[in-house]
Structures are given as C-alpha cells and as structure tokens.
Amino acid sequence: MKINSAVQNNTRIGFKSANVNILATSDNHGNVHSLPKFVRTVEANKNAIFPKAEEKSTLNIFAIAGDWFINPSKRGFITKKNMTNGDIQLGFLKRTIKHIKKLSGGKNFETIFTMGNHDLDGGDKFIYKVIQSAPMKTLITNVNIENSPGIKNLLEKDNSKCCKSVVYEVEDDKNPNLKHKVLFLGITIPTMEFYNPGLLKDMSFFDNGNVKDADLSEEKIMGTINSVKKEVEKFKKENPKGAVVLSSHMGNVLSKIVRDNVPEIDVILNGHDHKYLTSIKGKTNINSLGKDNELIKSLNLHFNDNGDLEDVDMNSFFSGLTLLDGIESHPMQLFLNDSFSEDMKPIVKLKDTKKILTELDYGDEIRYSNSYLANYLTSAIKRSIRDVEPEVFSVGLQSSIIRGGIKDKSNNLDLMKIFDGVSEDLSNLQIGNVTGKELTGLITENILGNLKAPTRNTIIHWSDIQIDRTLISDIAKGQSDKQYKDAIKVRNQITKEFEPIEDDKEYKIVLADKYLIKNDIEWPQKIRNKFVSLNQTYDNMFREYLEEIDYDVRITDKTREKRVL
C-alpha cells in the first residue's frame, strides 16, 4: 500500500475502483463558538475532503476521535440559563453532523464517534444520552461489556447506536459482485479512575486504573490491545483484503504501542494529546488531530480492481487559514448568534498598566512553565476567598483545569471555557493548614511528576509561591547539592517579597477535590484530612471577583511576575 501526503486543497486526480473519504477531528473540548469556522473550513475544501462523494462506490465518513464534550454538567449561560454545557454541546454536535452530511452530498454518509476522557466528565448518565440521541455510531472496542451493565442494556435494546466495531461495505465501480470492506474500531484512554474517579457507575474499560498517561506501558494496556486484536483478527479472517481504521483517544505513545501489537491496522486517527504529528510504520499511518477545531484532517482510501487497498491520500486543513468571507451570514454562525446573543456580547475590559501584555493567553506552555494567565487567576480567586477566609495564604490551581484565556472584549462563552478542564463533580474547593515541610513535599512531588511528562502531567500553579522548576530538576539529576526546599519561596505578606519557605510554619492553602482525592500519588493522601470544604469552585470564586471589579481586568506587576522559574 502506498501512502501519499497531500497538501492543502490538493484534490486527487482520477478514481480507483472504490473510495473511502474520512473527515477526522478530535478534542473539540466543547468549543461551540469555533464551530462556524470549522464547518466553513470543511465547506471551503469539500472537493478535496469528499472527492467523488456521490458515487455509489464512495463511502463518506465523519470521524470524531473523542472529547467533543467537556464538563457537561456545568451551567452559567446567560441566554439559556437552564441549560448545561452538555445540552449545548450535544445540540451543536447534531447540527454539525447535519452540516457535514450536506457538504458530503448526503449519500453513503456515516458518523462514527469514539469516547474521550472529557466526554465522560458527566458520568454514565450523560454519555448514554449522547449515544442514544446523536445520529452517529459510538465505537466501544475497549469497553468491558460484561462489567458494564448500562452498556450491556443499551446493546440489548438497540445495537445500531454503539458497538465494539463496525464493518462498512463499499461497492466496486465496475464489478457488482465485488464489495470492499472497511473495519472501524474505537478505543478510549481507559484509566477513568485517574480522569474521572467514581463517576462511571455502569461502565468499565479494560485496563482501568488510577494511572497517569506517562506511567502507562504496553503491559498496562494489554486488555485494550487484545480487544482491538480480537476484532481485527476476526475481520481479517473473513476479509483478508479489507482495510482497518482505528479511532484512538489514547495519544501518540499508546496509539503506537497498539499499532506495534496489531500491525494489520491501516490508519489510526489519534486524539487526546493534542499533537499535529503524522507517523508511518510498516503499513500503518497514525494521524494526530490537534485540538479545539484548529486542525481538520481528511484521508482518502483507494481500493483497486483487485480489491486491494492501494493507497491513502492525506490532507491537512487549518481553520485559522480559512478565508472567512461571508462567515457572518453562515447558517452555523447565525444559529450561534441567535442562540447565545447575550453570551456573545463583550464584557471584559482588559488593560495592562505598563502596556506589555495585550491578553492573558492560554496555550500548552501553561502545563509546564510560568503563566501570566495562571498568575492572574490564582491571585483573583484568592481575593474572593479572603472575603470568607481572610487567613488564606495561597491558592493552588492545576494547569489541566484551565482551558481558556482572557482578552479585551472577551464574552461569556469565553469566560465559561476558562475552568472547563474539570468536571463539576470534582471541582469543589477545599481549604486547610499545612506545614512548610508538607507544602514542600507536595510541590516537589508535583514538579517531579511534571518533569517526567511536561505536556501530560499537570503542574500546579500557586498564588504567592515561587517555584524554581529548573533547580528541582537539577537536584533530582544529582547536578545540585541543594535541598528541594531551596527551590521554593513564599511571599512575605508585609514586604511582598519572596523569601525561603519555613518547615515548621503553617500555611493555609486552597486546592480542589480533583487533586486531593488522588491515590496514585503520595501527598494528597497525607494531607487531605486537614482540609474542609468551601462549597465553592474556581469558576464561582473567579466570577465573584470579576463581578466585584465590573469585569475591568487590570494586569499589574503581580500578574507579570515569574512564579515558575
């Protein structure tokens, strides 16, 4: 099989005996406000994405490799006060599928969906609603059906909505007796006890556990590997020339491990780690799909007259490069405007007193380095908490919880995204006293974990605490004879300067349930009994602060300081 890397807007010339067009996306993270641009990008490139779409020998697939949804239980819309994130995101999913189907010509069209970890932020009840109501097929290859009564019940009622795998048949353009077969499978990062502990009551994955991605190895995902291998072997036995496409919300490292164990896979559509990579080994091509509707990939699979998968063309389209002429009158934009008129009005007034920063930007670097956005958020939340707990010293905020930034004229939809990286069920804030020695242990453990996998293992940002991440790394490598506590400084509340942390001094800190309930690391277990609930969330506290200052966001020296070195 030949794999061709096509360039943007490069349409395929000629036509094989059968064709499978795949439009793939992943990690939308509930960004409904960017969907008009996403749909417009597909529209502008539909001839390259869906060539020969209406031919009887063409199958058109819209593949979503997980995390379309995020934090579905959250509320906070102004226009639709009674609706949740999940209600809105599900409505836009249905509308997007309808648009894509129309752009593909409406014939021989299917949508396949793979669950991501954030799709499960709302637990079983929400994802079952999605599976049953959305016009798509959910692929659950590594779900342990025998231990999943809810899924088992769904399958018994109607297996057209979800299944372990699905085989699609494509007619040949010349030989009516020849049918080209394509197997689609879908796997989800299985460690729900890490991502959404306690939220899945009636669904279980092979290899579930409280394990970070960076600590997952081949041995720890053998259940997932075997579930894929079983479906592929069965398919290949009946269809030796058939093609295999795996939609994987596992990330590049784990997708490659699956590929190495199941080399019969032709294409892997990879989500979860927000990469833009393409890698090829043997016959298998892994296409990573980015995040937040920024990247769209299309693959065109071509079968020859002998029924063999002869080649695969690949195209990448970036929505930021799309010509948006007429976007204001686009049906998706009009629907967004009509549905969220109040939420789309600018409310933030942002100003830097020294005219250095034009926005508080959100990007992947927030996961491993200093962040002006995290500085502002932690300081603002501390200000709100001090109204009820005046002795609070520092607020800790996991970087993975942050999903959006702040700009001048940000609207309510923008602000609702900021803390979307944590389920409402795990977002309650806790406050407690810890010693300087305990705080040093907590911070050091967190930084060492982050150094191991900077983009996957979350860093905790703190108000009024400065951390020398580089020094901690040097100490761990034996390149410095200093102690870990030497890498941590705390703000003197009188002089406002950072000074060494004191082992025996007590510091009142705030952390969320999502961190304190963790059992896969040492320090949450050691300190959690020192904390009591504030019955508030980061989002609640930040909104209170913004309302108090009339959404007049001013960037000061404190926001611009270096808290992670």
CA distances (Å), origin 332, targets 100, 193, 335, 411: 11, 37, 5, 18
pLDDT band at 455 (very low <50, low <70, confident <90, very high): confident
Same domain, 247 and 311: yes
Which helix or strand (DSSP H or E) is residue 24 part of?
strand 18-25
Give tens-digit pLDDT for 152-193: 888 888 778 999 999 999 998 888 888 899 999 999 999 999
What is the predicted pLDDT for the residue at 12? 43
Same domain, 501 and 545: yes
Choose the final residue of a domain: 276, 305, 331: 331
Q: What is the average pLDDT across 545-564?
A: 95
Distance CA 110, CA 161 (A): 12
Instruction: Establish if 241 belongs to a structural domain.
Output: yes
Say which CATH number the domain at 100 has: 3.60.21.10
Q: Is 54 in contact with 104 (CB distance < 8 Å)? A: no
What is the predicted pLDDT for the residue at 372? 97
Choose the final residue of a domain: 331, 355, 372: 331
Same domain, 12 and 161: yes
The answer to whether residue 421 scores a pLDDT higher than 90 is no
Q: What is the average pLDDT across 85-102?
A: 94
Same domain, 402 and 489: yes
Instruction: Establish if 336 belongs to a structural domain.
Output: no
Give tens-digit pLDDT for 143-156: 999 999 989 888 88
Question: Judging by beta carbons within 10 Å of its beta carbon (0-12, 13-18, 19+), is residue 460 exposed, middle or buried?
Answer: buried
What is the predicted pLDDT for the residue at 485? 96
What is the predicted pLDDT for the residue at 154? 85
Instruction: Establish if 81 belongs to a structural domain.
Output: yes
pLDDT band at 15 (very low <50, low <70, confident <90, very high): low
Same domain, 539 and 432: yes
pLDDT band at 444 (very low <50, low <70, confident <90, very high): very high
Say which CATH number the domain at 469 has: 3.90.780.10
Q: Is 183 in contact with 241 (CB distance < 8 Å)? A: no
Same domain, 261 and 299: yes
Choose the final residue of a domain: 309, 331, 353: 331
Instruction: Establish if 340 belongs to a structural domain.
Output: no
Same domain, 353 and 321: no
Instruction: Establish if 248 belongs to a structural domain.
Output: yes
Instruction: Give pairs for 485-494: CB < 8 Å, separation 24+.
Output: 485/436, 485/437, 485/440, 487/444, 487/447, 488/439, 488/440, 488/443, 488/444, 489/465, 490/393, 490/394, 490/436, 490/464, 490/465, 490/466, 491/464, 491/465, 491/466, 493/393
Same domain, 68 and 197: yes
SS3 state of residue 557: helix
Instruction: For the chain, give the mean pLDDT.
Output: 91
pLDDT band at 457 (very low <50, low <70, confident <90, very high): confident
% residues pLDDT > 90 (the chain): 73
What is the predicted pLDDT for the residue at 173? 86
Same domain, 388 and 466: yes
What is the predicted pLDDT for the residue at 328? 82
Same domain, 266 and 396: no
pTM of the predicted protein model: 0.86
Instruction: Establish if 565 belongs to a structural domain.
Output: no
Which helix or strand (DSSP H or E) is residue 554 part of?
strand 552-555
Same domain, 379 and 282: no
Q: Which of 282, 103, 255, 104 is nearest to 185 (CA)?
A: 255
pLDDT band at 14 (very low <50, low <70, confident <90, very high): very low
The answer to whether residue 98 scores a pLDDT higher than 80 is yes
Instruction: Establish if 339 belongs to a structural domain.
Output: no
The token pair at 561 is: 């300081």
Distance CA 227, CA 224 (A): 5
Q: What is the average pLDDT across 94-119?
A: 94
Q: Could you list the residue range(s) of the whole structural domain that residue 369 is in?
A: 345-560
What is the predicted pLDDT for the residue at 6? 46
Q: Which residue has the higher pLDDT, 63 or 81?
A: 63
**Residue that the structure tokens 């277990």 belong to:** 525
What is the predicted pLDDT for the residue at 16? 61
Instruction: Establish if 337 belongs to a structural domain.
Output: no
Structural domains in the chain (count): 2
Same domain, 484 and 417: yes
Give, as one character, the DSSP assignment of residue 5. Answer: E
Distance CA 334, CA 299 (A): 30
Q: What is the average pLDDT across 390-410?
A: 95
The token pair at 382 is: 């501390």
